[in-house]
């Protein structure tokens, strides 16, 4: 039991770090700009992003599994990374996550930091001011972290 918890912890850390690298360093500007667009352009951009992100997670996970000699199965890795990829793609299409924010009462927070929010930051000239992030970004990352947890549980236990 304790060993399974250690495997889970190592797997989660690998996925979390790879997620951050893949979502921020490896995602192209074009993918980031287009992945939420409607139609084929958006779906392809999002798919390319998620493919690169999933490969990044697989490489990080393989390194951790091999170096630490962790007892994970190909089935667990396949299912875990597939669940993570599907949920990541779903959220990154943007309208879906905006819908989830709306139905859970988080629509105002989702708009925080954007001109759509009634208290958006502006400069003294009334132009949008720079800031460190948006509610949409915070909810996006939180959603991804939840599914990283689920993926790590699957990988460590299947």
Q: Given pLDDT bands bounded at 50, 70 and 90, which one contains residue 15?
A: very high
Q: Ramachandran region of residue 69, left (φ > 0), alpha (ψ -120 to 50) or beta? A: left
Residue 101 falls inside a structural domain = no
Percent of the chain with pLDDT over 90: 77
Mean pLDDT of 80-107: 95
pLDDT tens across 27-75, in order?
999 999 999 999 999 999 999 999 999 999 999 999 999 999 999 999 9
Judged by phi (left if over 0) then psi (alpha if -120 to 50, else beta), residue 129 lies in beta
Residue 65 belongs to a domain:
yes
> Would you say residue 123 lies in a domain?
no
Task: Give the chain's domain count.
Answer: 1
Q: Per the structure block, which two tokens stand in for 81?
A: 């990374």
Decide if 81 is inside a domain.
yes
- Structural domain includes residue 36: yes
Judge whether 107 lies within some domain: no
Q: Per the domain annotation, does 115 fall within a domain? A: no
Question: Would you say residue 51 lies in a domain?
Answer: yes
> Given this model, what pLDDT does residue 35 score?
93
What pTM did the predictor assign?
0.87
Q: 129 pLDDT exceeds 80?
A: no
Q: What is the pLDDT of residue 24?
A: 93
């Amino acid at each position: 039991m304790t060993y399974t918890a250690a495997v889970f912890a190592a797997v989660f850390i690998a996925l979390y770090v790879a997620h951050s690298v893949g979502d921020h360093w490896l995602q192209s500007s074009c993918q980031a700009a287009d992945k939420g667009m409607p139609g084929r352009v958006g779906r392809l951009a999002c798919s390319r992003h998620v493919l690169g992100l999933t490969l990044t997670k697989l490489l990080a996970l393989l390194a951790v599994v091999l170096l630490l000699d962790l007892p994970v199965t190909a089935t667990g890795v396949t299912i875990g990374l597939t669940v993570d990829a599907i949920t990541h793609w779903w959220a990154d299409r943007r309208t879906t996550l905006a819908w989830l924010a709306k139905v859970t009462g988080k629509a105002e927070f989702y708009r925080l930091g954007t001109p759509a929010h009634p208290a958006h930051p502006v400069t003294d000239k009334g132009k949008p001011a720079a800031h460190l992030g948006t509610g949409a970004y915070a909810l996006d990352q939180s959603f991804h972290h939840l599914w990283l947890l689920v993926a790590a549980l699957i990988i460590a236990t299947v």
